[in-house]
Amino acid sequence: MDLSEPLAFRMMPKTLDDYVGQEHILGENKILYRTIKADRLSSIILWGPPGCGKTSLAKVISNTTKYKFVKLNAVTSGVGDIKDAISNAENTLLNPSGKCILFIDEIHRFNKLQQDALLPYVENGTVILIGATTENPYFEVNKALISRSMVFQLHPLTEENIYAVLKKSLEREDGLKSFNIKIEDDILKKFALTSNGDVRTALNNLEVAVLTTPPDKDGFINITPDVAKECVQTRKAIFDKDGDSHYDNISAFIKSMRGSDPDATAFYLARALNAGEDPMFLARRIVISAAEDVGLGNPMALVVANSAMQAVHMVGMPEARIILAEAAIYNANSVKSNASYNAINSALDDVQNKDTGTIPMHIRNAPAEGMLSEGYSVGYKYPHDFPKHWVEQQYLPDKMLGTKYYVPDENVDTSNLQQKDNR
């Protein structure tokens, strides 16, 4: 037992019975549980956030399987390392089974050439691939590898899962038992809460608290709320601004504004800012929402959003958070209408896919001498010469007459809009 190794490493499970969490794929009747127990594993991709147990699950498999187990890290390994692992696997003197389980951590870091090098060996069964990634494998991993593997998504561990691991670390000889620690359950739960599903972070924080706190006169290391607060500092950001969860969070932010939920809007905005999103990116999304979702339900929303974007550019963080919140919550609280959004989409579809005819001659321009004699602009009625500044007149091409693109709904603000039916 080497207590100089990090606590998170020492607490990695050795068997399936030790493994905590991910019951949706590792419950007793689930396929992954059964295949690991039976040592009948096929190639798999484990996808999930940091600290959710991908590497721990690979270690459990390495302790369970009868096959040769090889671990590579995509950050430091190349095609040569892959070929060496396969060559060793195929050497029947060193490896009678002629196959191996190849665990590749951070597999999304492999480029296309490196991933392609695996294909024939995954195909013929020489290699049983276990790839671990924090990124969406459907975007980052070769589609041919995906098609030959089962993809399992691992979720952030629950507070209860992490609390159970922390509790176990205080009781195990290879954990922190020898340190004579005094810590209340509420403080232990605080470590679990602030880790946001990352058990490695929780164990690291607890270990720092223990190792930096001197024993009291009775020889106990007393982890008080103040000690815990210093070791945790702030709640861990739960997504990488450049990762797949970036898209999930911005989608939730936009849909919360569209769904008129100001509280959810503020929440997802706070998550984005906490993770370091570019404030101008967020401002642009608010402008788009003001036009697409609020639209003519409250035309002032676009004015507010555009002003907010300019103000964010001039002011910057941290004050930009206030400007973003004001504009986003204004969008969320505004009456919604997507009539303009639907109108332009329908019109574009017709322009791109139909024979829409020609522009009527009377509304064409006649800037050059002689064009009038050709019929350009002849018969045009200037609306301002008529009562209410409106006159019946054809504007659409003959082939498009009667087409309706703009269909105002009940939420359209008609106070300053001309409504043809009311003239």
- Predicted local confidence at residue 422, as pLDDT: 44
Classified by CATH at the fold level, domain 22-153 comes out as: Rossmann fold (3.40.50)
Tell me: pLDDT of 237 over 60: no
pTM recorded for the entire structure: 0.62
Q: Where are the domains of the chain?
A: 22-153, 159-232, 244-333, 351-422
pLDDT category of residue 1 using cuts at 50, 70 and 90: low
Q: Which residues 6+ apart lie within 8 Å of 8 measured at CB?
A: 199, 200, 203, 204, 207
Q: Which of 138, 73, 144, 75 is nearest to 102 (CA)?
A: 73
Domain 159-232 has CATH 1.10.8.60: yes
Average confidence (pLDDT) over 324-343? 94
Tell me: pLDDT of 420 over 60: no
Query: 3-state secondary structure string, 231-264?
Result: HHCCCCCCCCCCCHHHHHHHHHHHHHHHCCCHHH
Digit-coded pLDDT (tens) for 48-61: 888 888 888 888 88
Digit-coded pLDDT (tens) for 114-159: 888 888 888 888 888 899 988 888 888 888 888 888 899 888 888 8
In CATH, what is the architecture of 244-333?
Up-down Bundle (1.20)
Averaged pLDDT of the chain: 86
Tell me: pLDDT of 188 over 70: yes
Q: Which residues 6+ apart lie within 8 Å of 363 measured at CB?
A: 377, 380, 395
The Cα-based distances of 143 to 108, 114, 331 in angstroms read 12, 13, 39
Do the domains 22-153 and 159-232 sit in the same CATH topology, yes or no? no
Digit-coded pLDDT (tens) for 297-313: 999 999 999 999 999 99
